């Protein structure tokens, strides 16, 4: 009998639960058993700069992607070493189990990211243009 792998359902559900409260102010771009995503813009206005974040269930872990962290790395100022160890790249955090202290810290990071964006679909694009402008 083949192994079905780890049950990441509780991890996926807990991480998705961090983003769900913001769906009222944003647009759900994915919602199934493996992906849940939020965008700052409706489908007809979406581009890479309007993506807020998502949760993805993988084979080895569950990932949560937070674009505010990518666009404004200063949001990670003060983040714990343990949360930083979960980072892969500039905006992805991987979990294999529900770790409430770290997920609680992540909830604060999502809240801070949302407060920075204020649900504004122009936010990411404006900051990227500003960062690319010669100083």
The answer to whether residue 50 is domain-embedded is yes
The answer to whether residue 125 is domain-embedded is yes
> pLDDT tens digits, the chain, 135 residues: what are they?
444 668 899 999 999 999 999 999 899 999 999 999 999 888 998 888 888 999 999 999 999 999 999 888 999 999 999 999 999 999 999 999 999 999 999 999 999 999 888 767 777 666 655 544 555
Rounded to whole angstroms, the Cα distance separating 76 from 62 reads: 20
Beta strands in the chain (DSSP E): 27-31, 35-39, 51-57, 62-66, 87-88, 92-95
Q: Provide the pLDDT for residue 80.
A: 97
The answer to whether residue 114 is domain-embedded is yes
The answer to whether residue 56 is domain-embedded is yes
Q: How many domains does the chain have?
A: 1
Cβ neighbours of residue 135 closer than 8 Å, sequence gap 6 or more: none
Rounded to whole angstroms, the Cα distance separating 66 from 80 reads: 16
The answer to whether residue 44 is domain-embedded is yes
- DSSP states of 24-40: GTSEEEEESSSEEEEES
The answer to whether residue 1 is domain-embedded is no
Give the torsion through C-alpha atoms of 28, 52, 61, 7, to 10 deg: -20
Rounded to whole angstroms, the Cα distance separating 39 from 119 reads: 9
Q: Provide the pLDDT for residue 117.
A: 82
The answer to whether residue 126 is domain-embedded is yes
The answer to whether residue 25 is domain-embedded is yes
Q: 69: domain range?
A: 9-130
Contact between residue 11 and residue 98 where contact means Cβ atoms under 8 Å apart: yes
């Amino acid at each position: 009998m083949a192994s079905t792998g780890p049950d990441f359902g509780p991890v996926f559900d807990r991480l998705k639960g961090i983003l769900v409260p913001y769906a009222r102010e944003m647009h759900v771009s994915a919602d199934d058993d493996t992906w849940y995503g939020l965008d700052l813009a409706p489908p007809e206005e979406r581009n890479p700069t309007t993506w807020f974040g998502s949760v993805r269930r993988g084979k080895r872990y569950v990932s949560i992607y937070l674009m505010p962290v990518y666009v404004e790395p200063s949001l990670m100022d003060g983040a714990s070493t343990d949360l930083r160890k979960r980072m892969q790249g500039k905006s992805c955090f991987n979990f294999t189990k529900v770790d409430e202290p770290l997920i609680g810290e992540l909830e604060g990071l999502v809240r801070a990211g949302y407060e920075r964006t204020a649900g504004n679909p122009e936010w990411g694009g404006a900051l990227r243009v500003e960062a690319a402008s010669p100083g």
